[in-house]
Homo-oligomer: A and B are copies of this chain.
């Protein structure tokens, strides 16, 4: 995994410069500060790095994916800022959330301006990429943004709705999480000069690792330790959040166990004992293993998709990144 970390460190510094250039002339000063708050707070820049890599795996150059990749990171940042307002989350990337520092109005605006800047950034590479690639890239970003909004609305609608089945759940995490990662791998392919078939394959690669990431994120909530997770183990259970593990357990459980689990999920004041009972049920029905297996299958499928491409450093890194999503979050 050292190769992955090394390449992410290298890429994140050149992508960060691109983002800083794009945001430097925002006025007034407080909107500028609010807009750069999260991009200055770190972040592994995995999405734009994927764009740089998919540009190369199809025979293009690193720089082809730079502006379009940076645009994806701006979209990601915009969605984090607005999500934190919607969920009233206090902390993001170890910093106070934007709306906690500048208030909701300026946080809404900073999200909106990052969104706008993403499109400006793509258009700014018109001369180097050419008109067709730009339109294709903008279409890709617009489609991903629509899906992100729909996925977030679906996720909010799932709260307190325990009839969600596995397909509903997978559709939701595709829209909310995987669509933008897939947009990143697709947009890099477009910029790198891929043909339609290659573009489709790399979109699918992104979709699969995106799904695996989200499922793994839910898995970590139950199996990690509190220090590395940054929140109490089982907080998803406490919040009654629908995850693949919960969906699977509810589908498999006998009536008695299902009733116990639903009571815990609906309870807003779970004890540690409640969390343990839920965990025991997940183990009884092998739901944690099930989710883990699904995530691993997605990762293997994603890696296999890359076989059509000629061997290259970029291809190796893309395979490693697929494994990486089951080790650390994006």
Q: Which residues of A contact B (CB under 8 A)?
A: 26-28, 30-31, 82, 85-87, 104-106, 108-109, 111-113, 115-117, 119-120, 123, 126, 131-132, 134-135, 138-139, 141-143, 145-146, 148-150, 152-154, 156-157
Contact = CB atoms under 8 A, between A and B. Distances in A.
A105 B86 contact: yes
A148 B116 CA distance: 10
Contacts of A126: 135
A149 B116 contact: yes
A153 B82 contact: no
B135 A108 contact: no
A111 to B, nearest CB: 8
A104 B87 CA distance: 10
A117 B144 CA distance: 11
B141 A119 contact: yes
Given A27-B154, A85-B104, A139 B112 contact: no
A120 B142 CA distance: 6
A120 B108 contact: no
A131 B135 contact: yes
Nearest to A141: B119
A108 B112 CA distance: 10
A156 B123 contact: no
A157 B105 CA distance: 11
A195 B178 CA distance: 42
Nearest to A34: B153
Contact of A156 (B106, B113, B139): B106
Contacts of A86: 104-105, 108-109
A145 B157 contact: no
A248 to B, nearest CB: 23
A91 to B, nearest CB: 19
Given A138-B119, A139-B123, A106 B153 contact: yes
Tell which of A108, A126, A132 has the most Cβ of chain B within 10 Å: A108
Contacts of A132: 131
A27 to B, nearest CB: 5
A149 B142 CA distance: 19
